[in-house]
């Protein structure tokens, strides 16, 4: 089986590394030359499977550059529909690994990474499942509706959580206390949601309805852009825990 990965960004680079580490040969191709005007890429090699690890805004254009009607075509997006593949690609689907990727730190162990798959027919789904199974056992079949909501959930759980870390670092900037002092707290909070529902793991003054403490914090933060964030998040927590 010959696999071509189109897109040498964070997802494509990690996926290429993961497949190669399992002894599965895959060719990694930079997609940017395909979208140049005029295109500057070499002809795309023939393959059995094409995996499009492309940003959503460029996905349709890159797909249009590939003509291989007998091959299986897969995108890796959490938001794009399967219909992004036209009638010229009757065998198509989704191979969405739900993880945060970067080219600087390649993931070695994919066994615990959830993979969301979708296919146009039973045979395509079976082929996609078999490919995903080479890397992980956590495979879920789901359509665009579920993938979109998982993607949004991931934004809150990962991207926005990281923003909170950045804000925390800024709050500590003019103190003698380093950001590292927060790491045991961060690790403990993350560990708790392995055994508790997030709502049950919630702690802090907003959950207790301690307005004296919260008002004091807002007074300290009033000269920063973070007071509004603090107040909005506190209101959401308090509302969720009002009985």
- Phi-psi label, residue 204: left if phi above 0, alpha if psi -120 to 50, beta otherwise: left
**Structural tokens at position 132:** 């995903």
pLDDT tens, position by position, 191-217: 999 999 999 999 999 999 999 999 999
Distance of alpha carbon 30 from alpha carbon 28, whole angstroms: 7
CB 141 within 8 A of CB 162: no
In degrees and rounded to multiples of 5, residue 7 shows phi and psi of 120, 110
Evaluate if residue 29 carries a pLDDT over 80: yes
Percent of the chain with pLDDT over 90: 91
Which pLDDT band, with edges at 50, 70 and 90, does 39 fall under? low
Q: Is the pLDDT of residue 35 over 80?
A: no
Q: Return the pLDDT at 56.
A: 94
For the entire predicted model, the pTM comes to 0.85
């Amino acid at each position: 089986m010959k696999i071509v990965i189109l897109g040498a960004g964070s997802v494509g680079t990690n996926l290429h590394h993961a497949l190669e580490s399992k002894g599965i040969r895959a060719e990694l191709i930079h997609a940017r030359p395909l979208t140049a005007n005029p295109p500057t890429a070499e002809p795309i090699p023939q393959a059995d499977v094409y995996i499009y690890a492309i940003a959503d805004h460029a996905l349709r254009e890159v797909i249009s550059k590939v003509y291989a009607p007998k091959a299986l075509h897969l995108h890796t997006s959490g938001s794009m529909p399967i219909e992004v593949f036209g009638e010229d690609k009757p065998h198509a689907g989704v191979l969405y690994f739900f993880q945060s990727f970067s080219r600087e730190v390649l993931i070695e162990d994919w066994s615990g990474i959830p993979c969301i798959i979708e296919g146009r027919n039973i045979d395509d789904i079976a082929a996609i499942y078999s490919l995903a199974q080479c890397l992980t056992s956590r495979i879920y079949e789901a359509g665009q509706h579920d993938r979109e909501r998982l993607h949004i959930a991931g934004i809150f759980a990962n991207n926005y959580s990281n923003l909170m870390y950045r804000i925390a670092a800024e709050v500590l900037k003019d103190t003698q206390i380093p950001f590292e002092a927060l790491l045991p707290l961060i690790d403990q909070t993350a560990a708790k949601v392995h055994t508790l529902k997030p709502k049950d793991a919630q702690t802090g003054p907003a959950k207790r309805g301690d307005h004296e403490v919260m008002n004091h914090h807002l007074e300290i933060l009033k000269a920063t852009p973070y007071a509004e964030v603090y107040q909005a998040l506190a209101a959401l927590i308090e509302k969720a825990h009002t009985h």
